[in-house]
Amino acid sequence: MSGRELFEKAAGGTGCAMCHGVNARGGAQLSAPDIRGATEDRVRAALVGVVAMSRFKLSDAEIAAIVAHLAELNKAP
Going residue by residue through the chain, which has 77 residues, state the pLDDT in tens, using 9 for 90 and above.
899 999 999 887 889 999 999 999 998 777 899 999 999 999 999 999 999 899 899 999 999 999 999 999 999 87
In this prediction, what percent of the chain has a pLDDT beyond 90? 77
- Residue whose C-alpha is closest to residue 57's, from 5, 2, 4, 14: 14
Q: Encode pLDDT of 13-33 as tens digits.
A: 889 999 999 999 998 777 899
Alpha helices in the chain (DSSP H): 3-5, 17-20, 40-49, 60-75
When divided into structural domains, the chain yields a total of 1
By residue range, what is the domain housing residue 14?
Answer: 3-75
> Cα-flanking dihedrals φ and ψ of residue 17, to 5°?
-65, -20
DSSP label of 33: P
CATH number at residue 7: 1.10.760
